[in-house]
Amino acid sequence: MRRLKPKRESWGSRLGIIMAVAGSAVGLGNFLRFPVQAAGNGGGAFMIPYFVALLVLGIPLVWIEWALGRYGGGFEHGTAPGIFHSLLQKNRFVKYFGVIGIFGPFVIFIYYTFIESWTLGYSFYSLKGVLAQLHDQSSIQAFLKGYQGLEQNSFFSNIGPAYLFFIATFFLNIFVIYYGIRGGIEVLCKIALPVLFLFGIILAVRVLTLGAPDPARPDWNLVNGLGFLWNPDFSALKSAKVWLAAAGQIFFTLSVGIGVILTYASYLSRGDDVALSGLTAVSMNEFAEVILGGCIIIPAAFVFFGPVDVQAIAKQGAFDLGFVTMPLILGKIPLAAVLSFLWFALLFMAGVTSSVSLAQPAVAFLEDEFDISRKKAVGIFAVVSFVLCQPAIFFLSRGVVNELDFWGGTFCLVLFGTVETILFAWVFGMDRAWEEIHHGADIAVPRVYKFIIRYVTPVFLLVILGFWFYQEGL
């Protein structure tokens, strides 16, 4: 006799899913990736493609994923392969292409959780006052390397402590997913997100009241520090790489183009709103990214190190900026230990609310398509991902992370997003798609978006991809 399938899970409240989606979106990317991408791609020049990409790619993709996810959930499919299949029954290719929507988040989960675990370790060592005692770049750098077990004669001469924090982080993730959508993810995000915002606001206010800390260098001041990020530099607009980076950052920060929001939205009920809820989550993410993310790290580095150094630091990437420069800066301000704890705890909460969302597609796939219980699905996920995390921990170099981040965190997202848009607007059909977005909606989406989703979003994406292939000579 066929076992009756238990009913699929659902979110406990509207606030719950908004917080979960915002929790997925607000992550390490907002505080570490964004400032580096902005500074490395022309500072102010990056912001123009960034906002264009937000309006014509990010927001449409958010609506597309929320609508498609809810649609697929109605057929008990919570991940891209099943959802694409229910859209286009006779086409195997799209079903298999949808596997990117499980694989992609899984790959990101593997390295993201390890980096997230450093923020837990650093929160601990901040509170202990260890970080605040390190006053120069080389000792903090040595601390970072030692922490990763890469260098002798530092605070840690082996990987031990880092590994313990990794285990704690990994099992926290598994624990949350084990308790499910409503009892795990929703509860976590409803607690962690407000605390994260509070910590972020405290840090931003502290940085914004720094003025010009070095009397000998009055031009290393906050206004110039903010200008470094916000003064436009139009020369970079000609580069396809900057446009691709801006599009990639929008996708990465909003967690779209990878199947994660699809999965979260599949636990909505048919009558639930998607238009306003999606937009609310976007607004929370953008506040965290451009206001908090943009007003903490770069201006703070500027007032202490001046423009040339900030540029050099930004070129070294997110790790140095977050794990070396920030402790160094905070060490120069009173209450260093507390501030540095706030910074790393903020990163940790941002990280954990994102990593659980990266795990959910694989778990949902096992549950929905293989008809197994959540317990079993989480068990399989835990074992496989734990094993695959090991090479990431022991052999991951920055070069590999950057490479994975480019392919997984930029290229795949843009490619997958392009396919989603075409499927939604052209295969499903724009009239049905428009109706789907408005079903149960609490706002009317401006009509211009019907045009944008149908023409501008896919063409813009194809042009960026094509131009990039051309520039790279592929």
Are 187 and 179 in contact by the 8 Å Cβ rule? The answer is yes
For residues 284 to 323, the per-residue mask of contacts with ligand PFF, x marking binding by CB under 6 A and - elsewhere, is ----------------------------------------
Least distance CB 325 / ligand PFF (angstroms): 19
Q: Alpha-carbon distance 436 to 455, whole Å?
A: 18
Please identify, using beta-carbon distances, which residue of 145 and 190 lies nearer to ligand PFF.
Answer: 190
Residue 354 binding ligand PFF, by CB under 6 A: yes
Tokens of 341: 């704890």
Which residue of 17, 25, 292, 342 would you call a contact of ligand PFF, by CB under 6 A? 25
**Contact range with ligand PFF by CB under 6 A, out of 175-183, 341-349, 350-358, 362-370:** 350-358
Which residue of 24, 41, 340, 385 would you call a contact of ligand PFF, by CB under 6 A? 24
Q: Alpha-carbon distance 152 to 266, whole Å?
A: 48
Please identify, using beta-carbon distances, which residue of 126 and 253 lies nearer to ligand PFF.
Answer: 253
Return the sign of the alpha-carbon dihedral for residues 368, 370, 373, 379. negative
Rounded to a whole number of angstroms, the distance between the first and last alpha carbons of the chain is 55
Query: What number of chain residues touch ligand PFF (CB under 6 A)?
Result: 16
Please identify, using beta-carbon distances, which residue of 84 and 252 lies nearer to ligand PFF.
Answer: 252
Please identify, using beta-carbon distances, which residue of 252 and 460 lies nearer to ligand PFF.
Answer: 252
For residue 116, what are the CA distances in angstroms to 113, 204, 327, 333, 365? 5, 21, 16, 25, 24
Residue 169 binding ligand PFF, by CB under 6 A: no
Least distance CB 21 / ligand PFF (angstroms): 10
Residue 30 binding ligand PFF, by CB under 6 A: yes
Q: Alpha-carbon distance 35 to 37, whole Å?
A: 6
- Residue 117's CB is within 10 A of a number of other CB atoms, namely 27
Are 123 and 302 in contact by the 8 Å Cβ rule? The answer is no
Please identify, using beta-carbon distances, which residue of 415 and 427 lies nearer to ligand PFF.
Answer: 415
Which residue of 105, 121, 146, 322 would you call a contact of ligand PFF, by CB under 6 A? 105
Residue 80 binding ligand PFF, by CB under 6 A: no
Nearest to 297 by CA among 114, 33, 17, 18: 33
Least distance CB 419 / ligand PFF (angstroms): 16
DSSP string, 427-443: IIIHHHHHHHHHTT-SS
For residues 243 to 262, the per-residue mask of contacts with ligand PFF, x marking binding by CB under 6 A and - elsewhere, is ---------xx-x--x-x--
**Location of structure tokens 């605040």:** 132
**Location of structure tokens 């392009």:** 418
Residue 268 binding ligand PFF, by CB under 6 A: no
Q: Alpha-carbon distance 344 to 124, whole Å?
A: 9
Residue 360 binding ligand PFF, by CB under 6 A: no
Residue 29 binding ligand PFF, by CB under 6 A: yes
Length of the chain: 474
Nearest to 360 by CA among 275, 270, 258, 280: 258
Residue 408 binding ligand PFF, by CB under 6 A: no
Least distance CB 367 / ligand PFF (angstroms): 18
Residue 109 binding ligand PFF, by CB under 6 A: no
Please identify, using beta-carbon distances, which residue of 25 and 329 lies nearer to ligand PFF.
Answer: 25
**Contact range with ligand PFF by CB under 6 A, out of 215-223, 341-349, 351-359, 416-424:** 351-359
**Contact range with ligand PFF by CB under 6 A, out of 9-17, 123-131, 353-361, 386-394:** 353-361
Q: Alpha-carbon distance 24 to 18, whole Å?
A: 10
Residue 412 binding ligand PFF, by CB under 6 A: no
- Residues with Cβ within 8 Å of residue 285, at least 6 apart in sequence: 22, 25, 26, 30, 253, 254
Give the binding site for ligand PFF (CB under 6 A): 24-25, 27-30, 105, 108, 252-253, 255, 258, 260, 354, 357-358
